[in-house]
Amino acid sequence: MKKTLLTIFVVLICAAVAFAATSTKFEKYGKIFKTGVFTIKGTNCQINASGNREGDSSPVTIAMRNGEYVMESTVDGYKAGVLFKNDGNLYMYDGKEKMAMIMPLGSESMLQFPPVFVYTKSGNGKFDGKNLYYETLIEGDKQTIYWYNGNDIYAIQEKSPEENYAIFVSSITDKADASMFEIPAGYEIMSMQDLMSMFANF
């Protein structure tokens, strides 16, 4: 979960550089991502081998502000998410249980170890039952594919031998709600040591 979260944010910033000289479609989004303040709203869904949605989908919000990052979804009517704070910790929170798990990132800091994404190709293809234009970034065996409907990003697909999913984008804005970057009042914050101690007492 930590690696996936950090990779998503890194690829957005890297794309702003990789597409700079090659993509007029991405240009308006690249300017937003470079500011370091943005919010992406959409729907997350698994993608099958034919490029179509598969299984259940869930709403998702990704945001960045003041060097902090958050990914939040709604599961069974409750908010759940992952928050990367400037204190060097990652918080996984669950609205149903009103609990947040704190995990030190240490050397896994996104800024210390960014993966190197390289722009590889663009063209037209079929995705989600539509004929769309795409642009691809690659890092190792992972592909990040930006699908466009006209000049607007339609979906951001993450594809590797282990996983294949996409965020179907409803909006990308240059704002981020400050409340998203704080654990809600009343949540119990636990460390891994706290959790281990609880199990040790059973």
Domain spans, the chain = 2-200
Assign domain 2-200 to its CATH architecture.
Clam (2.50)
pLDDT digits (tens, 9 = 90+) for 130-176: 999 999 888 778 888 999 999 999 999 988 888 898 999 999 999 99
The percentage of the chain sitting over the pLDDT mark of 70, rounded to a whole number, equals 77
pTM of the model: 0.82
CA distances from 139 to 20, 25, 118 (A): 18, 21, 7
Report, as an integer, the average pLDDT of 175-189: 91
Q: pLDDT of 2-48, one tens digit each?
A: 445 455 655 666 666 667 556 778 888 888 888 889 999 999 899 99
Cα distances (Å, whole numbers) of residue 42 to 33, 51, 109, 198: 16, 18, 26, 37
